[in-house]
């Protein structure tokens, strides 16, 4: 069992995955001129499902008044981007499109920054809660 509280464990796993993805994308860019090189990517990690599995039993919304909105009527929009096939394959057989890889690197970096900010916010909340107990 992980010694970290649930949210920190999930955030840590997400940060690890994003770091590994950044390494894979950097390898793709580094091999942009390698003959017959095929770009790689990690299997998408569904962070939302990780959170739902970890916290679903504890976070079920309950309508305490008649005017509350039912949770089944609200659906989070899925803004996932479908991966496209490479635009072209070079005569050498290389299928790396540097622009495509750079877009993925930027998305990964933005996701990492968002998770880092969430981590900082969680730490700040714990600090605030601990200061209130003294």
* Averaged confidence pLDDT in the chain: 79
CB pairs under 8 A, 24+ apart, for 111-117? Answer: 111/14, 111/18, 112/15, 112/18, 112/19, 112/22, 115/11, 115/14, 115/15, 115/18, 116/15
Predicted pLDDT at 77: 47
When mean pLDDT is compared across 13-17, 82-86, 100-104, the lowest value belongs to: 82-86
Mean pLDDT of 114-124: 93
The pLDDT confidence band at residue 48, using thresholds 50, 70 and 90, is confident
Print burial letters for 67-91: b (CB count within 10 Å at least 16), e (below 16): eeeeeeeeeeeeeeeeeeeeeeeee
Q: What are 23-32's pLDDT values in tens digits?
A: 999 999 999 9
More confident residue, 24 or 8: 24
Domain boundaries, the chain: 6-55+87-133
The pLDDT confidence band at residue 73, using thresholds 50, 70 and 90, is very low
């Amino acid at each position: 069992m992980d010694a970290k509280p649930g949210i920190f464990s999930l955030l840590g796993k997400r940060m690890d995955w994003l770091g590994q993805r950044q390494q894979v994308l950097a390898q793709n860019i580094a091999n942009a001129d390698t003959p017959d090189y095929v770009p790689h990517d990690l299997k998408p990690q569904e962070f939302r499902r990780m959170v739902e599995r970890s916290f679903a039993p504890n976070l079920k919304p309950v309508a305490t008044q008649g005017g509350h909105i039912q949770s089944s009527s609200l659906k989070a929009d899925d803004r996932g981007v479908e991966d496209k096939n490479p635009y072209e394959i070079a005569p050498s057989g290389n299928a790396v499109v540097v622009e495509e890889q750079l877009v993925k690197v930027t998305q990964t970096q933005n996701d990492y920054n968002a998770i880092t900010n969430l981590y900082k916010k969680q730490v700040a909340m714990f600090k605030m809660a601990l200061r209130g107990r003294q």
